[in-house]
Structure 1
Amino acid sequence: MPPVIAAAVNCIVIRKSLSRTALSLLRSEQKASHASRISRIDLGHLSFLPRFQLRQLLRELRSAFAVLGGMFICLLVLMIALDCYVYCDNFNRRSILETTYEYCYTYKYPTEEVPEGGTPAYAETLRQTSYGYDLDVTMLGIDPGCPYFPEVAPTAKKSEVVIASSVAQKFGVGKGDVLVLRDEVNDVNYAFTVTDVVHYASELYIFMDRDAMQELFGRSDDYYNTVFSDHALDIDTGLLYATVSRQNIEQASAVFTDLMMPMVILVSVLSVVIFLVVLYLMIKVMIDRASYSISLLKVFGYCTGEVRRLYLDGNFVVVALGALVCIPAAKGLMDIIYPYFVSNVAAGLELSFPPQLYAVIYAGVLACYLLIDLVLVRRLDRMTPAEVLKNRE
């Protein structure tokens, strides 16, 4: 892209500028634009300062839109980093909150009797496609009143299921919809009607009554292959596929945040740097275009502070009001795009920001502008009445 953009700038902008006569270039003549014609509208009801700032803004309307466009792009880049952070952080918190058991035992060879102190369940792994990726979905058959999934109340029908919110988000289904899952081992498709959606975002879970699930998959009435417990059970490890503890889940869920934090910090810093560069260049262009007028004001005795209020403070209003629109717009657009970034992750998607984070982003935008404002004030100091003398007729 950089060579293409550079070629476009050379062919269109620079060639257009150099097509002017030498005398026109020496006089720094500016062609009357649509924006300058707009700036002639009657603003007589306003006092001098806001009227001057508004006219200056209308004269530099295209540059103001360029600033807002650059700010929106930079906020999009920032939202990539922040969405990544809140996604990992929410996943970590939800994993800990939703793991109500202390131990989960997955059997390779189930025993006839459920170990004392354990709660039996029946799990099967099915598959579904999301954004072109085949994801594993755990179908869990539980008994009524299971203490480890208190919000789940599956019906006794083998064609009805309760789904986790992660499944609803990932596959775009809700209450009353039909969800089709594949059993790739036996090459069978199953269609289920969703009776309820429960908030469970850390894994892709589908819940069914254990008796109905045993009947659906042709198992015996007392079959189970998973046991949940609130304490460690004395089970022969040769009978098990795996043992997962709550502590294991807490440690594993925190890994995502630790792995992604360097990328989050890097992208956040880059977005700020890009925003500072865009803001500096665009406002500098506005000041350079008005260099003759600024020098003339200094001839009339205006100090740097007064020139700053006339030419820079108006841009502050543009940035402040534009940020109020661009921040939620960038967040909304990135929330639409972000599911594609994590389309191969078998987990829910919670991207909600706390309100205070929006306030921090807004304060950061204003701080960036004030920093650029301080830099550009020095440029105003370097503008002297000599500009008027150089460009006189």
Structure 2
Amino acid sequence: MATSPAHSPDGVPARARPGAALSTSDLHVRYGEFHALKGIDLAVERGEFVALLGPSGCGKTSLLRTIAGFVHPAHGTVVLNGRNVAGLPARERNIGIVFQSYALFPHMTALENVRFGLECRKLPRGEATERAQRALALVGLSAMAERRPKQLSGGQQQRVALARAIVIEPDLLLLDEPLGALDKQLRVQMQTELKSLQKQLGITAVFVTHDQEEAMSMADRIVVMKDGSIVQVDTPERLFQEPKTGWVCDFVGGGNLLRGPLEPLRSGVLQLELAPGSVIHVRGEGSPQAAVQVPFDKVALRPAVNDGLTVKARRFLGATLALEIDSPLGTIVAHVPPEEGAAYPVGMRVHASADMAHCRLVTVE
């Protein structure tokens, strides 16, 4: 089934935005009988950093490869700066690409790797060398220009791959899980550097990731995909705070999703009882498909005397302590400061609640 048109921040459908740097319309991709992309409508504004986020097999890499020109759609358009490029080979799209594997030529120096794309475009050697040197300077690798990939660290190889992608002055930069091969500390550092460089150059960028935290920290907007379709496009803040469905809430870690009998309390307010003494209030109208979203850090706990819920596990997360609370509606997770969590050992009985301002109804498929 095709998705409904994805909307930009001003609410205008993607297919109605001819001024976008990149737009796709009713894009379908098939691999034999497998329907990988099911009517993708998406618009990316000039200078925007957009993440394609979703579980394995959701279609995010197929979408990136279709935009790049490595995969040709069965139906639909890919418009780059006002030109439909769906039928053009990858080399004619002026798109820079960075892969997770970096794909550097091992027999070439860093400078030669960066210069390669310019030489393929028949630029004079002197001009190509000068532009390659500038690109290496932008990523902080001027001193490594004569080293070959095996003489560079993983982070340095990633920078060379990035310099090679931007040296051609692309209309669009595509990044296919470019930081996935790095250790956590270096990955966080490169997230900051990559986002800073992208904004400095004003390049329109689309990157694929399965890491929710990476998408949240880097993207201007996040495209959440599932089963070949787009299920939500939003800023990281709105996606986390206002997921459109229960699946999105679970996938992005938006909080507890509590499903149970919703009883009218007063006009426009519903009550969800977790157990005697543990009640959640939420604004809205009840329906069989509705569940209550409660952010992990908004769950309030207090000791219970006889009844109540039970603390069944504790996980130290550094700045916070995650308490897992057993309830008739399933496990409730509460993120609390470690000093507060010290008062709630495993086995203790507690009551749980949340401020209504932080709770909302979401649709559960």
Q: Which has the larger radius of gyration?
A: 1
Point out the structure with the larger helix share. Answer: 1
Fold-level match, TM-score > 0.5? no
Point out the structure with the larger strand share. Answer: 2
Scaled by the length of structure 1, the TM-score of the pair is 0.20
Scaled by the length of structure 2, the TM-score of the pair is 0.21
